[in-house]
Structures are given as structure tokens and as C-alpha cells.
Amino acid sequence: MGVKTAPLIAEKLMADGLAPDVPVAVVENAARADMRVLRAALAGLPELVKRGKVKSPALIIIGDVTAQDDSTLARIATEAHA
């Protein structure tokens, strides 16, 4: 789920060569009435999680797929958790 370790995740991915401007989305409470989808660039992931006060259950999605609409991202998150 990665919410608590979002800064380490972003740092490691960038250290391994992923561009800081790669899009990311955080899907919180997928498939629930209170679902939220927050988006940023990879370099902004730690601040996004902090500023958004994201709580688990949440899934971090990385890459161009984050351009999908919120309901599609919720489906992806739900399938990944199953």
C-alpha cells in the first residue's frame, strides 16, 4: 500500500532511473463511497500523501495509466488488491 513509505518509494524509483515527472496517482478507499484519487508527479508523491492526509487502504499507481478516469483507476486498484 505504501502510504507510510511514499517518500522512500519515490526516492528509490528516481534513484533507479525513473523520471521525477512520471505521473502517479494515489487511490484511497477504492470502490467505496469515500474513494479519492489524488494525482501528482513522482517527485511530488511524498507531499501529495502528506498534504492529502492519505490513509490506508490506498494504492499508488505509477505511469501513463494514471491518465485514466477515477472509476477506471478504482477498478485497477480493486483488482490489484484482490
pLDDT at 74 over 90: no
Domain 6-81 annotated CATH 3.20.20.120: no
Dist. CA 78–CA 8, nearest whole Å? 24
pLDDT at 48 over 70: yes
pLDDT band with cut points at 50, 70 and 90 for residue 82: low
Compute the C-alpha angle 37/6/67, nearest 5°: 35
Dist. CA 34–CA 74, nearest whole Å? 12
Query: Does 45 or 59 have the greater pLDDT score?
Result: 45
pTM for this predicted structure: 0.89
For residue 68 the three cell numbers come to 485514466
pLDDT (0 to 100) of residue 80: 78
Mean pLDDT for the chain overall: 92
